[in-house]
Chain A
Amino acid sequence: MKRTTFIGFFLLLIGLSVASGQGFIKLAQLQKSINEPGKIKVINFWATWCAPCVKELPFFEKVNSTNKNVQVLLVSMDYDLDPNPEKVKKFIARKKIESAVVILEEENPGDWIDKIDKEWSGALPSTLIVNPVTKKRKFIQGELKEGDLEKLIDEISK
């Protein structure tokens, strides 16, 4: 039953995703999906204006398509500079992004950056990996190199 609820929630999340709608998510929803039981979560904080973010997106796309034990969620921080979701939508379409994408729709990041992770300075890109079974978390600030993500997922799976 729990599993169905979870799958249902994730489908809802995907339903909310940028490709098929406005794609906005509130902090409370994001926190809920981070801590939801089930697969390992790989949550990447990025923005269309962030060059190193755009550069590392293929690594997340690769994990999303090859590792079925992991759920990838790309959280766009574009709202902070541009409340219009069009730029993100066009970007997703142009780059043919298949991972779930949401835009975090919250004002005043200083109030909630710590709620996502205390280690986070607010710099982009940043990546949070959570194992909901062991409750292990890893927060990585800065750009990932090829192979880093696989290593991190491997470490958190143990």
Chain B
Amino acid sequence: MKKLMLLVVVALAGFAPVKNGYEVGDVVADFKLKNVDGKMISLSDYKDAKGFIVIFDCNTCPMSRAYNSRIIDLHKKYASQGFPVVLINPNSAEIVAEESFEKMKEHAKEHNYDFPYLYDESQETVRKFNPTNTPHTFVLTKTADGLKVAYIGAIDNNSRNGAKASKHYVEEAVNELLTGKTVTVTKTKAIGCSVKLKNS
């Protein structure tokens, strides 16, 4: 009987729709991931946050390097307004050795990160968000239903030079949320490094 139940469950699971990660409007499940300082971090730790700028970013991607100071500036500008930056490394050190937790610690120190840079060893959280490239941003906003995805995509539309970007997507999304508006541009694409998931 138990075996039959299990079979039914497996069969049902087989028919479940394939989800390709969170979409705009989805409620995000909280996580508990290890920060470069060794502490475990959850989004629920931030009692006063109005939302988050969650960025999937890594040690090695040249596109990530191009955006490094812009990410630091985003935190500087928005953490005090209730939208702190939280970085998560989506890459597996099993695929790229330079993405190890030790190397993440060095990277965070080198760039004086004053926000979390989280290691997701199981890649469970990464698979839920399903970022496709680095850097890949998810702006989350606190609602009565929980943390909802308000924006997915690029930080701005000029990888080479942020000062010359004509669109600052993340800033515009957060500004709209801060003034109680709905986000106008909710999804964008950019050239970036592919995410290196293990066993794929």
Which A residues lie at the B interface, using CB under 8 A?
47, 49-52, 77, 80-83, 107-111, 113-114, 120-125, 141-143
Contacts and interface: CB of A to CB of B under 8 A. Distances in A.
B59 interface: no
A125 B193 CA distance: 8
A51 B59 CA distance: 13
A74 to B, nearest CB: 15
Contact of A123 (B133, B154, B157, B159): B133
B157 A122 contact: no
Contacts of A77: 191
Contact of B194 (A81, A82, A125): A125
A50 B192 CA distance: 9
B43 interface: no
A110 B189 contact: yes
A111 B66 CA distance: 20
A122 B159 CA distance: 12
A123 B132 CA distance: 6
Contact of A109 (B166, B191, B200): B191
B190 A110 contact: yes
Contacts, number: 69
Contacts of A125: 194
B25 interface: no
A73 B62 CA distance: 23
Contacts of A113: 189-191
Interface in B141-200: 153-154, 157-160, 166-167, 188-196, 200
A158 to B, nearest CB: 26
A82 B158 CA distance: 11
A83 B160 contact: yes
A120 B191 CA distance: 10
A50 B58 CA distance: 14
Nearest to A120: B189
A134 B157 CA distance: 36
Contacts of B60: 51
B133 A121 contact: yes
B72 interface: no
A142 B66 CA distance: 21
